[in-house]
Every structure is written in C-alpha cells, then in structure tokens.
Chain A
Amino acid sequence: MNLTYTPAQQAFRAEVRDWLACHVPAKRLASFDDSRDGFEAHRTWERTLHAGQWGMVTWPVQYGGRNVDLISWLIFEEEYYRANAPARVNQNGIFLLGPTLMEFGTAEQKARFLSAMAAGDEIWSQAWSEPQAGSDLAAVRSSAMREGDHYVLNGHKIWSTRAVYADWAFGLFRTELGSERHRGLSLILFPLTAPGVRISPIARLDGKPVFAEIFLNDVRVPVDQRLGAEGQGWAVCMATAGFERGLMLRSPARYQVAAERLVDLYRRHGDPNDDVTRIAVHRSWMDAQAYALSIYATASRLSAGGTIDAESSTNKIFWSELDIALHQTALAILGPRAELLPSAPTAHRDGDWLEDFIFALAGPIYAGANEIQRNIIAERMLGLPR
C-alpha cells in the first residue's frame, strides 16, 4: 500500500500540466452536438492532442500513445479536467473501441484503426441498440450476411451518440441466419459514409441532435472489418461494456472538478444558513473522492494483473447517481435563475450547470440502464438466482 506518487509520476503530471496550459483553447469550443462546425472544432482539438502525443497516453507509442500505466492515465485525466480542456469527441473510439481493438484486434486491424482513431481522423460512434433491443441487447436483429469476402449489413440501429457527425461506427450484428440471443453475433466496424447507410438525427429532450438512428440497406463491408471471431460478438461487446462502465468512460477527475466548482459556487451564491444544501455540497465532494479512491484501487489491481468484472456495474450506478445529485445541488444554489438558458439576458455566468444537469439525466440510462446494472450486481456479484 503506497498512496503517494513516484517522482516519475509527479514529473508526468507537470509535463501534462505545462502542455495543457499552452494548448487548451482559451475560449470554450462550440458543442460537438449542435453543429458540424462544433464537431470539427473538436476534431481539430483531437489532432492537436495527437500532435503532442497526448491522444491516448496508455496506448503503445506506435499507435500514438506513450505506453504509460493506468495510474498515469488517471493523472492525465486529472490534469485534463483541471485545465477545463474540451470534451473528447472521440470518446466512443478511444475509451471503448480502442481497448477492445487492443484486446481482440488483429495486428492489421490495430495498425489500420488505432492510429487514425488517436489522431482524430476517424471519429467513432457505437451502433448497438435497436428499436426492440435496448436493455435486452441480445434481441438485436440487424444482420451481416457473408457474401464472399464481404458482409452485407441490413437493419436499424438507434440511440447512437454523435452518429450525426461521426465517421465510423462499431455495431453488433447477426452473422448466423436464424441464430438467437447471444449466439451468432459479431462485432463489425463500418463507415457511416458507406453506400446504403442513412443517418436520421434524434433530438434529445432539449432539442439537440445528440444521437441518431442508423438505417442499413445492403451495406457492403470487407470481412476484415469484423472484430474478434465470427459468432463471438457478444463476448467482445461485453468486454467493451466492462471498459465502458468500469474504468475509462467516466474518469473520476470529471466529478472531482465538478465538485470543486460546486464548492466554489456555494461559497459565492449559497445561503450560509441553508444547512441542507451545504451538506449536499459536501456529500458530492465526498462521493467524488470515494469514486476516485475506488478507481485508483481498481487501476492498482489491473496493473497487478487483476481483472474488472461486475464491479463495473457498481461504478456505473455510483457515478451516474453522483452526477445527478451534484448538478441538482448546483441548481438548488442558483435558485430562480437556475432555469435560465445561457441566452437569457440576466442568466448567471457561473458555469454550465443546467446543460450539464440535462446531460447527467442520461447517465442512469446509457451504457446499460441502472436497473440492468443492479440485476448484474445481484446475479454475478451476490449470486442471487436469475
């Protein structure tokens, strides 16, 4: 047990901090969900990161990384959020597909996809859910039928975040005619610009087109764009889901920085006699700390050769509930002005609390609804019967 950073880790932190201080745009970029311009501004930022070799620090040097361990990744993330650097437009790629490619991809696939991903040249979206396959993901029907050295994709994917402007998607398809449930599925990578792909934006509850439906009509993709063995798509996807819920998708620094800002917000605008809100502020700070400690413990275990299993479900429940509580507390502090949009003439100029609250509302739903996570905890961790 050693809860101090090594000199090398401290030097790494200093290097990240210095680089970010020189390169993070002074003005917040336009949202990557609202417009092509905002999306492309974020792509440019990804290219800047890549040029500094900061795209994905845990990756091997040959794919644009620095080959550092998970503790250093956490340090990078801490500095990244401290610096208020732009949100990662390619998070589905670098945090979800990237680690899966690293584990299941062939040498050719890694060379083909990882560098372009790290460079921001290819921005990824996830194509898993279907209209009748949400929480029950194994009910997917979209098919990929083999024709020579190609698959022919047909079907209807939905709730694909950032698919409106993204370049590529990784999707779950039936490669075996007549197969059911978890069998006969494969994970296939396909360009969203391919002939036969039609993207239809879906407006979020505030009207922004943050996700999309993907209609696939005889889309031909080469067989070598299948990730993992044919028919093993479910196992490959679950590995992705483990990373997603477990470690990388929501790094603790995100909540620690938000909690720190919440403390500041309370200092400036809070009612000093409002004990309930003060305690809620402190609870958010403690919960963000607890999440960070938990992730450091997980990273330490993974570094020592351990694995991540059902605890990724406890993580997902914890950060999603923490995120909502934290932003609800911020809105409570802002009082009657909490509801004002940034365009309101007398809107407070003290952070994006409302926008971030709306985003937090999705947390208990995406990456597997929290009710599904509770089933996973009960069945796999506690051993209750199915």
Chain B
Amino acid sequence: MHFAFSSEQLMAAEVTTQLLQAHCTPALLRQLLARDAAREDSRWQALSEMGLMGVLIPTDAGGLGLNETDFVLLAEAGGYAALPEPLVEHAGVAAPLLAQVQPGHPLLTAMASGTSTLAIGHPINPFVADADTATALLLVHGDTLHLVRRDQTHITRQPSIDPFRRLYQVDWRASDCTRLDGAGPSDALLDQALNRGALFAAAQCLGLAQRSVHLAVAYARERQQFGKPIGSYQAIKHLLATAQVKIEFARPVVYAAAAELATHAPHAAMRVSHAKLAACEAAELATRTAIQVHGAMGYSWEADVHFFLKRSLALHAAWGSPAFHRGRIAHHIDGQPLGPDHTFYNGTGHV
C-alpha cells in the first residue's frame, strides 16, 4: 500500500505544467480565438515531442506503453491551462481504445508522434469533439467499432459556450471497410473508454478548479478596497478556503480511480464515477467562487476566469452526466460490501 505517485510521474507532470505555463497562457488562448483557429500546431508539436501523445500507446507501436496513473496528472495539467487541443480525447481515450482493438494498427505510430489525430464518437456523448482536425474518427455502429477517415464523414459544428470546445455532429455510413476487425464484442471496450474519458475529464476539472482558485487568489492579493487588499477580508478568505477544501477531497478520489483503472480493480468503474462527480462539483464551486471574488471584473470578457467556468460547464455532463455517475454509485452501494475494510480491492474474488 503506497498511495503516491513516483518521482518520474511527478517530474513528467511538472515538465508538462511548465511547458503549458509558457505555451498556453490566457493571452495565447485569446490570440487563437481572434484567429478562429482550432488548434495551435506548435503547441501540439511541443506536447508531442515530450511523448505525451503516446503515453497509453504500446511501445511496439511507438508509444511509451504506460497506463492511466501516468496520464492522469497530464490531463490535470491540461485542465489547469484550459488547453484547447484534444490531448485527452486523442491520447487519453482514442489511442488506448484503438490499441486494445488492433495493437498493430499502423495509425498508432502516427498518433504516438502526434502527426495524426484520432477523434472519438462514444455513444455516451451526443457529439464528437475536435472532429474537424482529426485524421480519422473512431465511431460506433450497433455493437461494432469503426475507424472512419475524416473525409468519409459529413460534420456539422455545434457551437459550445466553451469557445475551445469544438463539437460536431457526425454523419457517416458504416461499412465492412470501416469496421475494425478483431474488436470482438465492443461493450467491454467501450466501457473502458468511457471510464478513461470520465476519469480524464475529472482530472481536467481538478486542474481547472485549482487554476480558478489561483487566479482568484492573485486578484484578491492585488485588488484594494477600503484601503486593503480584498484578500485580507475573511469573507473572501472563507469563500476560497471552502473551494479549496472541495478540491482537496476530489483529488485523492481521481488519483485512486486512475490507479484502480490501471490495475483493472473490480470497483474501478465506481471509483471513476465518484471521481467525476467530486471533481465536477469542485470545478463548479471553484469557478463560480473565482468569478465572485473578481466581482464585476469576473463577469467581464477581459478577466480570464470565464475560460475555466466554460470548460467546467462543458465537462459537467461530458462522459456521463451526474445522474449517470450517481447511478453507477448506487449500483455499487446496493450490491457490494461497503465497510472500511473494502476501501480498496483486497485481492479476493477477482474476475
């Protein structure tokens, strides 16, 4: 029993955070918006050169062959920066799914290097994120998985309140050519993809929640009213402390979910749902608190907090609504032993 990341995992997260601190500033996000561009190629390339795209791709296919525990902090760093590019959908969900179905698929190598991007249309989500910049799309028809080239689809943009979230309705035709052979029954694979999607959405929520608190703290230290920084008043302190408490008790759930998904613990799905619920709640509270602390500035386009509020709103029901995840928790509570000796998987009855 050792509930902590390795120094390598912490180092990778630190380097990613630093890279995004330089290459994903709010000012750069605004430039991207002004150009109406979908992604910043240089940033995608920088992240790719660090190996991030191949974390969950097997080494034989040019990836790093690591697992969810290695990726979760990277997804959190992406959330902290409100990263516009589809790091999580591509590297965190689509890549491991394709690798599970066809470990030798030639696209995996290009995905690991970041030269090709794979979008994913999972049945839990009504739309496909970043379909426009994808080389190909992983789609589901009935109980079969399909790999469809972008130019074989017709896509319709569904503008989101989050300007960096590029959602598309995808019209396409399934055929023998698009079907991914070797997939077998897709249910279990799609469940795993859903769990990765929900887990990494939760990790992004943790990151954006923490960033919102940090933005508000920075503002409250500077902004003066009644002759003092507003951050010296307990009304402000307690709002931010309450948001921080929410974050602190979502974080270990997200990390445990990553570790348990990586080791296929039987209750991993329950933990992922708990993580998604807790992290979404933390993000909601932290983003709204950050806006409140900023006062009228917080409600303006000029302050950066709205980027995080909008991402929080977008991720709220992505990869399963709160009702969906509460349902999975209820299923666990109704059917499994609950005592403190069952906090972790104890190694008996493994299927």
Contacts and interface: CB of A to CB of B under 8 A. Distances in A.
Contact of A260 (B4, B250, B251, B339): B339
Contacts of B228: 385
Nearest to A373: B241
A375 B263 CA distance: 40
A289 B256 CA distance: 11
Nearest to A383: B217
A298 to B, nearest CB: 9
A253 B259 CA distance: 22
B330 A282 contact: yes
A52 to B, nearest CB: 19
A19 interface: no
A292 B340 contact: yes
Contacts, number: 172
Most buried by A among B3, B6, B231, B338: B3
Interface stretch (B74-82, B177-185, B186-194, B232-240): B232-240
Contacts of B3: 1-3, 293, 296-297, 299-300
A3 B274 contact: no
Contacts of A256: 338-340, 343
A297 B237 contact: no
Interface in A251-283: 252-253, 256-257, 259-260, 263, 278-279, 282
A289 B306 CA distance: 32
B252 A294 contact: yes
B175 interface: no
B340 A81 contact: yes
A286 interface: yes
B45 to A, nearest CB: 30
Nearest to A293: B252
Contact of B242 (A294, A300, A374): A374
A2 B1 contact: yes
A3 B231 CA distance: 39
Most buried by A among B69, B263, B343, B347: B343
Interface residues of A, number: 58
A270 B231 CA distance: 44
Nearest to A7: B347
A9 interface: yes
Contacts of A297: 3-4, 252, 255
Contacts of B221: 383-385
A282 B253 contact: no
Contacts of A2: 1-3, 259
B155 interface: no
Given A1-B69, A1-B259, A286-B278, A384 B252 contact: no
B326 interface: yes
B343 A289 contact: yes
Nearest to B254: A293
Contact of B340 (A5, A252, A373): A252
Contact of A292 (B234, B326, B343): B343
Interface stretch (A150-158, A160-168, A311-319, A323-331): A311-319
A284 to B, nearest CB: 11
Given A294-B249, A317-B245, A300 B232 contact: no
A263 B213 CA distance: 34
Interface in B332-346: 333, 338-341, 343-346
Nearest to B248: A314
Contact of B232 (A294, A301, A381, A386): A386
B326 A382 contact: no
Contacts of B229: 385
B269 to A, nearest CB: 14
B244 interface: yes
B120 interface: no
B241 A377 contact: yes
B265 interface: yes
Nearest to A287: B249
Contacts of A253: 340
Contact of A379 (B237, B245, B329): B237
Contacts of A318: 245, 248-249
B138 interface: no
B220 interface: yes
A371 interface: yes
B158 to A, nearest CB: 30
B236 A374 contact: no
A375 B253 CA distance: 25
A81 B339 CA distance: 10
B260 interface: yes
Contacts of A200: none
Nearest to B273: A286
A6 B326 CA distance: 32
A226 interface: no
Contacts of B345: 3-4
Contacts of B252: 290, 293-294, 296-297
Contact of B248 (A292, A311, A371, A373): A311
A79 interface: yes
B256 A4 contact: no
Contacts of B274: 286, 289-290
Question: Considering the complex of A and B, which 10 residue pairs feature the smallest CB-CB distances, nearest first?
Answer: A378-B237, A374-B241, A78-B340, A293-B252, A256-B340, A377-B241, A384-B231, A253-B340, A300-B3, A374-B238
Interface of A: 1-6, 9-10, 13, 71, 77-79, 81-82, 252-253, 256-257, 259-260, 263, 278-279, 282, 285-287, 289-294, 296-297, 299-301, 303-304, 311, 314, 317-318, 371, 373-375, 377-379, 381-386
Interface of B: 1-6, 9, 69, 213, 217, 220-221, 228-229, 231-232, 234, 236-238, 240-242, 244-245, 248-253, 255-256, 259-260, 263, 265, 274, 277-278, 326, 329-330, 333, 338-341, 343-347
16 contacts: A3-B256, A3-B263, A79-B341, A260-B338, A291-B249, A293-B252, A293-B253, A294-B252, A300-B2, A314-B244, A317-B245, A318-B245, A378-B231, A382-B213, A384-B236, A384-B237
Given A4-B1, A285-B333, 9 more contacts: A1-B255, A4-B344, A256-B340, A263-B338, A286-B278, A317-B245, A375-B234, A381-B241, A384-B217
